[in-house]
Structure 1
Amino acid sequence: MADADAVTIALHHMETVAIHGFASKSMFVAGICILLYDHILTFPDEVEYIWKQKWSVVSTMFVLNRYITPLVLAVDLYDKGGLPNYIPKSFCVGWYYGESVWNLLCFGFVHAIVALRVRAIWGRPRWLSITLSVLFATYFLTTTVVVYALQIKVVHTVEYNPLYRICLATISPHLWTCWLPALIFETFVFVLTVIKAREHSKANFDTPILRILVRDGVVYFVIICACSVFNMLIWIVAPPSLVALSKYFVLAVVPTMGARLVLNLRGSRREDLMPTTGRSTTDDSRGFEMQAKGGRPGKPLPGERFVFASFRAGETFDDEEQNPSLYERTRLSQINSSRMGTKGDGN
């Protein structure tokens, strides 16, 4: 009787693991579909705003996330999809570490892009540049240390399971803590975005680029926080057999969001920024992403100007002051008209 009960329990456990595995694979495939579908949709924009533009650090991060992530997910699908009849332990261990490296870099790239955007919204003040740099370095290093410290403790359990035909490993009960640094950094960046958005709203200041920066910043925060909390909850309360339910889905969604952040912003340039010479925006752009022009130290901008721009090749701050963009000229005219009206009312 006892043996029969043990067999029943074992069969029930195997059935549960199989169901959880199917759910995880379904989420995995859903994430890949989102990634590839969005890639197809935005490929024309990628050609126009990435490959035809001057190269930049943001372009590099975009391309790495865009093209390495699908390759990583392809190996993951081979590793966790139950496809191979056998996988050497050396491959399981090597990919156990290698996959983590790309996860850290992938999230780091997207967080860096978001930090640059917030820096742009605030006008690139020195104190904020230093603060964001320190916080980003702290988040990235802390996450890296936590992940590898916990992985080293369980790496001896990594091996190929012939029953489920995948590489398996024991999951540390504290692994969920690796999401905390990113969550704190994301919250800080979001608060900065909201503060500046409220300031611009009260000042009735608006440009297409500013709308994109604020809108995407809010959407990004909601999605990335949902992904982080999803992972944390799964790793805290769910059984070990569900640990992959969110992992690969999130790895597909985050780079997709990062690509949209870059393409949406570059696409908005055509609405807000127009060349003031005979040269084209494509030829002149130096590719500095999300750079907000602020006044020199001790020299405030006239008329409370705050303009998002991409500096042209060889252009200085004084050159730009002498050749303002279409939006800048319109905005200054509005400010001057408003001031003249105020003086007229006073008389």
Structure 2
Amino acid sequence: MTTVSNDPSWWPVIDAYRFSSYFIFAAFVGVVYDWVLMFGQEVELVWRQRWSLMTFLYLGVRYLGILFAALMMLNNLPAISWTDTVSRILYVVRYCINVLVFPMLWVIIITRLHAMCQGSRKILIFLIATFLVDNIFNAVVFIMTIMHTSADEYILSGTYMCQINYQKDVLLLVSITWILGTVWEVLALCLAVWIAVKHFRELRRHSAGGIIGDCFSVLIKTHMAYFASFVAVSCFELILDLTPAISVDINSLETRALYGLLQILTVVQMFVLGPRLILVVREYYAKVVANSDAASAMTSIAFQERVHVSTSSSV
């Protein structure tokens, strides 16, 4: 449905819409800036290395993130006219990317935890089982969301806008997916901390093993940063979805600012910190290979991959 109006009463809505577009543009710039900043390391540690599952996961998260941010920005530019059908298609594509990237990030985390616990089959089965249950539910919610959403096109004083309408039951299901995702992340973090503490205690009993201890420190730091960002995004998502006052006053500047901050946090969590889960470990591993002959002690931790460096030494 298309609504055309030049009524001045719509001007606050137009201002709020333009205000929120600034946050979306900032999120896009942040993703592109991080990609440019890390591109040299990406070439050295990803493109020039032996390709594996982690390579495809890194490239998928990184470049789907750029596409996601670009589509999000284009769909919210007031100067571009999109029909309600095109806007809904862009929304579906963004939602598909979101649904695809989260399992990819969780596979990265499962791989890290499996390597940290030295290939424990019980832990791997537990992680995969919970991963499948959560993602099957997410896929069902995704299908229901696509089936029960609609798009309305507005042309207000020459400004083109599109609004996605959700049913209340759909919003509740989306909130449940965030709750389940947060529970899984908490379990993964507790498991990572438990494994790290266990290994640090074992390392104290032996004089050797400094490299392994440093690697575990790198893994825990990157996991903590990713976990903190995920919790922040989940809290914002639940507050915005479950607070009646916010859903009623959707076009206020305060509400738009909250939604804009959520967009920035989501993009940073998924498409900036996500790729670093792989890149930081590979960077540390490459430095160890270049500076020490003892790097073979941590082969099982660094995603069980061979990292070649320019000094011709490899593991």
Number of the residue aligned with 2:56: 60
Call closer, same or farther: CA 1:123–1:46 in 2, change over 3 Å: same
Aligned ranges 1:116-195 → 2 under 5 Å: 116-154=111-149, 157-163=150-156, 164-173=159-168, 174=172, 175-195=174-194
Superposition RMSD on alpha carbons, in Å? Answer: 2.9
User: What's the CA shift for 1:128?
Assistant: 1.0
SS at match of 2:162: strand
Distance 1:70 1:311 in 2: 26
**Unmatched tracts of structure 2, length 5 or more:** 1-6, 308-314
User: What letter is aligned with 2:175?
Assistant: W
**Unmatched tracts of structure 1, length 5 or more:** 1-9, 285-289, 293-306, 314-324, 326-347
Call closer, same or farther: CA 1:51–1:16 in 2, change over 3 Å: same
Determine if the alignment matches structure 1 residue 266 to structure 2 residue 282: yes
Report the TM-score, using the length of structure 2 for normalisation: 0.78
Superposed structure 1 runs of 4+ greater than 6 Å apart: 274-277
Call closer, same or farther: CA 1:102–1:274 in 2, change over 3 Å: same
Call closer, same or farther: CA 1:145–1:311 in 2, change over 3 Å: closer
Number of the residue aligned with 1:200: 199
Match of 2:45 among 36, 49, 62: 49
Determine if the alignment matches structure 1 residue 310 to structure 2 residue 304: yes
Distance 1:58 1:48 in 2: 15
Match of 1:233 among 231, 239, 242: 239
- Whether the 8 Å CA contact 1:231–1:246 is kept in 2: the answer is no
SS at match of 1:123: coil
Distance 1:107 1:257 in 2: 12
Number of the residue aligned with 2:4: none
SS at match of 1:166: strand
- Whether the 8 Å CA contact 1:28–1:245 is kept in 2: the answer is yes
SS at match of 2:119: coil
User: What letter is aligned with 2:181?
Assistant: A
Determine if the alignment matches structure 1 residue 27 to structure 2 residue 48: no
Number of the residue aligned with 1:249: 264
Select the structure of larger CA radius of gyration. Answer: 1
Distance 1:249 1:200 in 2: 36
SS at match of 2:165: coil
Instruction: Tell me the alpha carbon deviations over residues 186-227 of structure 1, each in whole angstroms, 9 at most, x when there is no partner.
Output: 111001011112222333364332111111111111111111
- Whether the 8 Å CA contact 1:159–1:168 is kept in 2: the answer is yes
Number of aligned residue pairs:
277
SS at match of 1:53: coil
User: What letter is aligned with 1:249?
Assistant: I
- Whether the 8 Å CA contact 1:208–1:268 is kept in 2: the answer is no
Call closer, same or farther: CA 1:309–1:70 in 2, change over 3 Å: closer
Call closer, same or farther: CA 1:276–1:40 in 2, change over 3 Å: closer
User: What letter is aligned with 1:104?
Assistant: V
Aligned ranges 1:73-112 → 2 under 5 Å: 73-85=69-81, 87-112=82-107
Higher mean Cα deviation, 71-80 or 187-196?
A: 71-80
User: What's the CA shift for 1:180?
Assistant: 1.7
Call closer, same or farther: CA 1:291–1:28 in 2, change over 3 Å: farther
Distance 1:270 1:50 in 2: 11
Distance 1:51 1:128 in 2: 31
Number of the residue aligned with 1:328: none
Match of 2:109 among 114, 123, 141: 114
Call closer, same or farther: CA 1:90–1:23 in 2, change over 3 Å: closer
Call closer, same or farther: CA 1:98–1:184 in 2, change over 3 Å: same
Distance 1:159 1:248 in 2: 21
Distance 1:265 1:234 in 2: 35
- Whether the 8 Å CA contact 1:73–1:248 is kept in 2: the answer is no
User: What letter is aligned with 1:162?
Assistant: I
Identity percentage of aligned residues: 19
User: What's the CA shift for 1:246?
Assistant: 4.5
- Whether the 8 Å CA contact 1:119–1:128 is kept in 2: the answer is yes
Distance 1:22 1:71 in 2: 21
Distance 1:179 1:291 in 2: 34
Distance 1:224 1:63 in 2: 20
Distance 1:291 1:125 in 2: 16
Higher mean Cα deviation, 163-172 or 98-107?
A: 163-172
User: What's the CA shift for 1:104?
Assistant: 0.8
- Whether the 8 Å CA contact 1:139–1:182 is kept in 2: the answer is yes
Call closer, same or farther: CA 1:41–1:215 in 2, change over 3 Å: same
Distance 1:99 1:127 in 2: 35
